Amino acid sequence: EGDEQRGQLLQRPLRAGRAAGSRSAATSSGRRAWGWSGGYPEIVKENALFERYYRGQAVVPAAEWDAFMAALREPLPATLRITGYKSHAREIRHCLKERFFAELRGLRVDGQEVEMPQPLSWYPEELAWHTNLSRKILRKSPQLEKFHQFLVSETECGNISRQEAVSMIPPLLLNVNPHHKILDMCAAPGSKTAQLIEMLHADMNDPFPKGFVIANDVDNKRCYLLVHQAKRLNSPCIMVVNHDASSIPNLQIDVDGKKEVLFYDRILCDVPCSGDGTMRKNIDVWKKWTTQNSLQLHGLQLRIATRGVEQLAEGGRMVYSTCSLNPIENEAVIAALLEKSQGALELADVSSELPGLKRMPGITKWKVMLKDGQWFEEWKDVPLNRQTQIRPTMFPVKDEEKLKILMVTSYRPPPSKKMKMFGFKEDPFVFLPEDDPLFEPIQKFYALDPSFPKMNLLTRTQEGKKRQLYMVSKELRNVLLNNSEKMKVINTGIKVWSRNSDGEQFGCAFRLAQEGIYTLYPFIHARIINVCIEDVKILLTQENPFLSKFSSETQKKVKDMAMGSIVLKYDPDPEKPDELQCPIVLCGWQGKTSLRAFVPKNERLHYLRMMGVEVFKAKRKEEESEGKTEEEGQCGADLGQFSKNSNNHVSQESKDSDTNDVKD
């Protein structure tokens, strides 16, 4: 996750920002030229100015100082978060606990008992865990290697996210509901954005929650990292935009025929910061730390936070967060916001939220230090020639009541407890006209429900043949239609149909896309085949299996159905608790004599693991059959053959390709 881990001051306004820059490594040619034999000089975890500064700010009680510094020198435990929507996330949690963690209990490596991963006590439903298992240890036993492969593969397909614990806190404190309009101001690379999307879809029975997330980042390249993260969740309620957060434009929406300014119910203000709270992970901070970083960032942080407050709806909540320990980047920004708001803002007391989270109160007194170590306690003490570096908003406010509120309602998770702006022009977003003849054959072929919101369908081309159809929620459609000239939209909508060049002979030119199937499924009343779990295994492990391989029930259902795109639905049987207990909806294709699933490879592997089928990537040919049952060996062989013969199709299906043609 690199530099997206933030979150040290936690409050209604909260803290999280950018981590410090990473060290550049020597080149291979440089190593050879100088006879370098490998290994970097170990960074000494000492910085006298850092210690002097934070002792002077009293960010921790004096009695805890030694423990605080000792904690900063310890490596940060790895944390993971189970992503996705409720039923699927619970199934992954069940798989982790019962299949992998159970095997680790009592396991010894090099004479020492392996430390069991533990859930984060404050994260809901045990969907976040921390572990001290290193990569070196993970490769030292078959059980750990198996666990490691699971983590790597599930991370690749987005079902598990390596996300630091403090980074998970700001979205939780936003207290998101499915109807909320949310702005994520500095969103890349997107782990927190993913949390927000998951909260919007808390009710899996509602494919179109009334709320949405607009995720912004100033860096065009980082916006595409953000798109990659968000697309894993296949939501029609996310829009990625590219603006300077400190001047992000006011958007308008149509309300009963009148244009109104869009105000947000929830805003995540996760600002760029000096990142000195990341010393346990980014050890370069030890040698590069200086007070100048915070002084240079304070103004930008305050401008971004101010712009966020300006767009906050009455009764809304904004979380301000950084990964810095520095009060200049935290308490000072919050105090300045309160001062400027003249009573329009108040800090929310979240002390009762996230029970189990260890935290410390914010501080009410702090000083400002220059790079040379000179202290200033009040603005009036700053000489004229230093007033370009130090600003009045960096000092505590004089109002005792405001200081008291700040101390009570702002939080610091203690360590001891735990660009390029704008790019090339994007393709347009063009909504399908009401009378477009393209839609009628689709509606008939899939027997779409009359309630299907066809006005929310869009394409990415104004001219020529439409190759892909995308869908957004009604609320995001409103935003797009009323702000096309104001916003630089990088991505929005999910793909729901793709054109197949031979589709007309099958009754419909467009086949279903796996990316949007969970959104479409509630509206489809035809071409649905319910399959048993054994049929699902066949579909996911074999490229184009003959109909004769499927259960007799499935063969009967397929017999009288015309060729073309279909929906394959698996419903769990509560009376068989050992089987997969979350529903699966797959896009498929029925041919004359065969039935196949159009599902990206990583997604196939994920579902197979959830069903208890192990598919290993063998390192050597002689290892391919070792330790496998006959069923596992066959499964691996079939999937391997699938990869060789049709990986091109799978990789295209996972992208926005126009060439996914289907022939039987």
Q: Which residues are catalytic?
A: 323
CA-CA distance, 480 to 579, in Å (whole number)? 43
399 is in an annotated binding site: no
Q: For tokens 């997969």, what's the residue?
A: 580
Is 562 labelled as part of a ligand binding site?
no
Is the N-terminal amide bond of 124 cis, ω within 30° of 0? no
Query: C-alpha angle with apex 582: 577 to 584, nearest 5 degrees?
Result: 130
Determine the Cα–Cα distance for residues 510 and 500; give it in Å rounded to an integer. Answer: 6
User: Measured at the alpha carbon of residue 68, what is the angle toward residues 62 and 72, in degrees to the nearest 5?
Assistant: 150
What token pair was written down for 303?
Answer: 């401008």
As a residue count, the chain comes to 664
Residue 203 annotated in ligand binding: no
Q: Does the annotation flag 186 for ligand binding?
A: yes
Grouping H, G, I as helix, E, B as strand and the rest as coil, residue 528 is strand
29 annotated among ligand-binding-site residues: no
Give the residue from 131, 125, 138, 137 showing the smallest Cα distance to 92: 125
> In terms of DSSP bridges, do strands 160-162 and 430-431 run parallel, antiparallel, or are they unpaired?
unpaired
The answer to whether the annotation marks 449 as part of a ligand binding site is no
Query: Is 251:482 a contact under the CB 8 Å cutoff?
Result: yes
Q: 280: helix, coil or strand?
A: coil
DSSP type of residue 20: P
Rounded-to-integer distance, Cα 150 and Cα 404, Å = 48
Q: Is 188 annotated to bind ligand?
A: yes
Distances in Å between the Cα of 343 and the Cα atoms of 73, 195, 339, 527, 597 are 42, 31, 8, 59, 58
Measuring CA to CA, how many Å separate 542 from each of 162, 421, 619? 31, 45, 21
Q: Is 281 helix (H, G, I), strand (E, B) or coil?
A: coil
Question: Is 428 a known ligand-binding residue?
Answer: no
For residue 62, say whether it is annotated as part of any ligand binding site: no
448 CA to centre of own chain: 32
Residue of 393, 336, 332 whose CA lies nearest to 362: 332
Q: Which phi and psi angles does 162 have, rounded to 5°? A: -80, 105
Going along 264-349, which residue ranges are E strands? 264-270, 312-321
Helix (H/G/I), strand (E/B), else coil: 429:
coil
Q: What angle do CA 460, 465, 468 make, to 5 degrees?
A: 45
The whole-angstrom separation of Cα 79 and Cα 123 is 12
Separation of alpha carbons 612 and 44, rounded Å: 47
Sign of CA dihedral 126, 128, 134, 138: positive
Asked whether 286 and 44 are in contact (CB, 8 A), the reply is: yes
Task: HSE, CB side, 13 Å, CA atoms: give it for residue 546.
Answer: 2
| 269 labeled binding residue | no
- The DSSP bridge partners found for residue 319 are 268
Beta bridge partners of 82: 160
- Least Cα distance to 409 among 10, 3, 31 occurs for 10
Which residues carry a binding-site annotation for S-adenosyl-L-methionine? 186-192, 217, 244, 270
Which residues carry a binding-site annotation? 186-192, 217, 244, 270
